[in-house]
Chains A and B, each alone.
Chain A
Amino acid sequence: MTNGNATLVVKDLRKRIGKKEIIKGLSFELKKGEVFGFLGPNGAGKTTTIRMLVGLIKPTSGQISLCGYDLHREFSKAIRQIGCIVENPELYPYLTGWENLEHFVRMVPDIPKYRISEVVELAGLQNRIHDRVSTYSLGMRQRLGIAQALLGKPKILILDEPTNGLDPVGIREMREFIRFLAEKEGLTVLVSSHLLSEIQLMCDRVAIMSKGEIIRIDTVEHLLAEQERVIWKVEPIEKAKSLLEEETVIIGEEDGTLITHYDAEKVPLWNEKLVKAGIKVSEIRTKLPTLEDLFIELTGGETID
């Protein structure tokens, strides 16, 4: 499975606290230039996993390798490959943005000073960089957090809930920025989120987590297509229902509509059949599942908080 493109490889990662196993054997690989999403409700183990990836929590067992360096045995070399924001971008509020960046540059011998101006520009913070962080808005702190993560020209960027607390404009900017880093700069980006819409717009592949396990890894298109619904507004409804039931499963009925699975090739055929039988089809539309639906589907009934 391992290929030359893999930048982050995780094998059978486990974490036990006391008797309770909270991460139950995760394995996955991230490729160069892809945006990978961790999707799951709060408490699914996303943050714990991310903290293990950046060396804040020691795994009970399993391997983490970053650009070929084992995180446990070659900590400094491995951690040098990543930039991260874990949860909120918490920086020193009594220092200016610039001083914060200087502080972190001083900790790594091979980052040149001019790199600070580069990341400040990249994050679009030129105007306020010499103000104290305590005067920054949440969006600006998030930008400074990103700037801080990019200081060491990392190959892998790990962002825990990067759009948390941002306004809609901020969310879109962040999304575009992350896509830019992956496509133009060739970074591997790992993001976590509990919002499907966000993951859907930002990520190439996604891992769905629940109760410390990955229950599914797939590309976003696959996952959505499979879970996509078709809503039929038809008249008379009883007749249409019996006709459609011959072809597929009716998942639900909602105020005068029928809901079935989506199948790009078959929907026109079903439609033809309905029309031929003299049924008035006034609306056919597809609907993406909510995370809630997806979860219930994949876990068989487990709901998110």
Chain B
Amino acid sequence: MINLVYNEMMKIVRKKRLLIIAAIIAVLVALFTYSQMKRVQTLQEQLGTTDWRAQLQQQIIDTQNRLNSSGLSEEWRKFLQIRLKQQQYYLDHNINPSAPGAPTFMRMFAENSIDLFIPLMVMVIAADLVSSEASGGTIKLLLTRPVKRWKILLSKYIAMILSVSFILLSLGVISYFIPGVVFGFGGWTMPLLTGFSVHGEELDTSNVHLLSQWKYLLIEFGLVWFVSIIVGTLTFMLSVLMRSTAAVMGIMLAALISGAILSNMVSSWESAKYLFMVNLRLTDYVSGMAPPIAGMTLGFSMTVLTVWGLVALMISFLVFTKRDVY
């Protein structure tokens, strides 16, 4: 089995996929670092101060202004109110929510890329794992060895998990070191608030507690990893079902983008919460953002994703071991 996984990893590495993904991440992180730097600068100019309390106060005023303007949708108003309470809480307890520093950047990057960017990178690896062997004809050579079909598929699945883990590791390293040059490498022990939960319109702060940033990051990266594995598994299934890598990519991309759009407009369509793509933003539960549909919790989303993942895995193995190869 180790040999089989070694083979699969070698093929992924020799196709230079991991290198390309790392390069894409590096470029994006550099881009965001620069824009973040610009943003901090303009904010300081506007306020004429580097005092974060003043910045936070400014943000609260901004939020209040937006709340007062007419033409806001009900959902948006609700969200802003919760956000306002949260910001107020940070201010009252003297906690800087966006204290610049590489770990903070890392956290924000992970939170913002969990539902689209990271799944996209996972897709690049997983989409052609099986379909490229089918379209290239090498599947025939692979399946005429004295190795059971399920073992071959399992080795590919393990290779997918290893690659996804590698992607997240390089994402962590890159999004720490590049911004670190600009914002400094410190900030691991900065306390952050977590445990916000939303009940109706009320922000429930009864469970709110402090967590040092590194623990917070650990939890978030764990969730990002989980989401990536599920997205990887779904892509893997499509890759088993279809010969064309482009078709696999197209379908996954459509699902992911529709998820991003749906999240913003499904609050009244309750059963949409069983779709995997609206459940991808797991980190929002940790940072205390309102879920797209009332009643969704971290446990609920993880259960939905797990079920989707398991079903996809089952279909993959059933189809792959039974199918006639032409």
- Interface residues of chain A, those whose CB is within 8 Å of chain B, are 51, 54-58, 75-77, 79-80, 82, 84, 86-88, 90-95, 99, 103-104, 106-109, 148, 152
Q: Which of A58, A87, A88, A99 interacts with B324 by CB under 8 Å?
A: A58
Query: Judging by beta carbons under 8 Å apart, are A107 and B145 in contact?
Result: yes
Q: In the complex, identify which listed stretch (B23-31, B135-143, B183-191) lies at the interface while the others stay far away.
A: B135-143
> Most chain-A CB neighbours within 10 Å: which of B14, B140, B144, B322?
B144
Interface residues on B, range: 20 to 34
Query: Judging by beta carbons under 8 Å apart, are B138 and A92 in contact?
Result: yes
20 A/B residue pairs, CB under 8 Å, sorted by A: A54-B140, A55-B144, A56-B143, A56-B324, A57-B326, A76-B147, A90-B140, A91-B138, A92-B14, A92-B138, A94-B14, A95-B11, A103-B10, A103-B11, A104-B141, A106-B4, A106-B7, A107-B147, A108-B145, A109-B3
A108 — which chain B residues lie within 8 A by C-beta? 145-147
Q: Which residue of A lies closest to B152 (CB)?
A: A107
User: When chains A and B are docked, how far (Å) is the Cα of A80 from the Cα of B144?
Assistant: 9
Q: Is the interface of B mostly helix, strand, loop or mixed?
A: helix
- Give the 8 A-B residue pairs with the shortest CB-CB distance, closest first: A90-B137, A76-B146, A56-B325, A57-B324, A106-B3, A80-B146, A107-B145, A86-B140
- Interface residues of chain B, those whose CB is within 8 Å of chain A, are 3-4, 6-7, 10-11, 14-15, 136-138, 140-148, 322, 324-326
User: When chains A and B are docked, how far (Å) is the Cα of A103 from the Cα of B144?
Assistant: 13
A82 — which chain B residues lie within 8 A by C-beta? 144
Q: Which residue of B lies closest to A75 (CB)?
A: B148
User: When chains A and B are docked, how far (Å) is the Cα of A152 from the Cα of B143?
Assistant: 15
A76 — which chain B residues lie within 8 A by C-beta? 146-148
Q: Which residue of A lies closest to B322 (CB)?
A: A58
Query: Judging by beta carbons under 8 Å apart, are B141 and A79 in contact?
Result: no
Query: Judging by beta carbons under 8 Å apart, are A79 and B10 in contact?
Result: no
Query: Judging by beta carbons under 8 Å apart, are A103 and B143 in contact?
Result: no
Q: Which residue of A lies closest to B140 (CB)?
A: A86
**How near does chain B come to A138, taking the closest CB pair, in angstroms?**
14
When A56-B324, A57-B324 are in contact, do A86 and B144 touch as well, CB less than 8 Å? Answer: yes
B141 — which chain A residues lie within 8 A by C-beta? 90-91, 104, 148
Q: Which of B14, B137, B142, B325 interacts with A95 by CB under 8 Å?
A: B14
When A56-B324, A57-B324 are in contact, do A104 and B145 touch as well, CB less than 8 Å? Answer: yes
> Most chain-B CB neighbours within 10 Å: which of A56, A75, A99?
A56
Query: Judging by beta carbons under 8 Å apart, are B14 and A84 in contact?
Result: no
User: When chains A and B are docked, how far (Å) is the Cα of A94 from the Cα of B14?
Assistant: 7
User: When chains A and B are docked, how far (Å) is the Cα of A56 from the Cα of B322?
Assistant: 10
